Amino acid sequence: MTQQTIKIISPIDGSVYAERTCATPEQIEAAVNRARAAQRAWAATGLAERTAALTRFTDALLAMNDEIVPELAWQMGRPVRYGGEKRGLEERARYMISIAEEALAPLEKKDKPGFVRYIRREPLGLVLVIAPWNYPFLTAINSIVPALIAGNAVLLKHASQTLLVGERFQKAADAAGLPEGLFCNIVMDHESTEKLIASGRIDHISFTGSVEGGRRIERAAAGTFATLGLELGGKDPAYVRRDCDLAYTVENLVDGSFFNSGQSCCGIERIYVDAAIHDEFLERFVETAKGWTLGNPLDPDTVVGPMARANFADLVRRQIDEAVRQGAVAHLDTKHPEDREGSPYLAPQVLSNVNHQMSVMREESFGPVVGIMKVSGDEEAITLMNDSPYGLTASIWTKDLEAAARIGARIETGTVFANRCDYLDPALVWTGVKDTGKGGALSEIGYHNLTQPKSYHLKEV
């Protein structure tokens, strides 16, 4: 029987950029057995040895960046001008390495004479990381580095659009001298992935992807008692108060809306602006957005590349068309020879006169479109920001940080930003609420979610 293959169809020109063979059930079983065997020995090594190995792993990944940048353009369309994901990857990996000793230290209880009591954090065992295509290095590194440092083994199943990223991680693991089988990049289709999860041989699943994908993983894991970290959809809002720094706010929100062609879990998809400054904000925003021009991602001058797949772009086109039919105003001239139905090339669009009856303000777009809506003040903004099934991040643009914190306390979200957006600080937990998922990555809490507590209650006699 011929083994199934997965093809990477490049958004640049529709060509087959790479093709890989899916692992057979026997190969998957062998990978699991090797990982479990390697994990037992790995967990017994000292933390200093593990952090040193993951430092070498990080160094090896960073050394490949010149090759990685064009690979990303071919695989998922990000312009080469941005230099890949090197800066964010290094920041997250090195931070998680730096806090490992403190985050994994035993929690000692010394207030009871005659007893030695403490809580240790022990590895879960085998972690399956299912990584997406939109930020294929950053999303994966969030789990891979802390999972391995904590003493786990890791299987990586990367998205079909970015299979070569998984191979880069494998090369880094090999270059770092990680024990054979401890980390394994494996090519699997959805059916094989769900069967592996349902087998009960996976201890933790870290998944970044769609809400429906998260539901399928939950169903597959039912009854196995595997722990889950699910980072799913988003429809992240921004609220622009009348006391904001207008020029700064416009510049950053345009970037937050259109960077990576809007294909960011925490990208800005809806903006609520105080009525007192709405018209000026909109005018400045549109003028700034005109500089975000569409083109071939291999061209160093290109600011916005194609979306990863044509069907993703067509979904956004449908949202825009529906909104305009319902009275929204489209502000950008999107004429581009490649921007047409059935093409992954989609120019940015700014919509005003929008409302929450429009899908562009309610459903995840995950593309280069943003709706801008006038609000009367804080109360209306809070109501509208919470009028969503998602809750990953929300940003408040104001010079009054006390007001930002006060407003943020009432927003149903995983992260509250003030005067910032579309960024992960590795010192803070990355988490979401509602349909955005469960669990949390990065920070010391990320380590806690990749380990299990074990209590020691020792009485002197």
Q: Which residues are catalytic?
A: 231
Which of 262, 284, 268, 208 lies closest to 421 in space, CA to CA? 268
Residue 154: which H helix or E strand, with range?
A: strand 153-158
Token look-up 């799913």 returns 232
Q: Which two tokens stand for residue 202?
A: 């996976």
Tell me which amino acid residue 37 is.
Answer: A
First to last CA, the chain: 66
Q: How far apart are CA 301 and CA 291, in angstroms?
A: 11
Burial (CB count <10 Å: 0-12, 13-18, 19+), residue 387: middle
Of 252, 369, 363, 247, nearest to 304 by C-alpha is 369
Element (H, E) at 108: strand 107-109
In the chain, the amino acid numbered 129 is: V
Helix ranges, 176-277 (H)? 190-198, 211-221, 246-258
Dihedral sign, CA of 320, 325, 331, 333?
positive
Can you spell out the DSSP letters for 331-358? -S----TT-STT-S----EEEES--TTS
The b/e string for 322-333 (b: 16+ C-beta within 10 A; e otherwise) is: ebbeeebebbbe
- Pull the structure tokens for residue 273: 């602006």
Q: How far apart are CA 383 and CA 201, in angstroms?
A: 44
How many whole angstroms separate alpha carbon 337 and alpha carbon 23? 40
Alpha-carbon gap, residue 153 to 315, rounded angstroms = 38
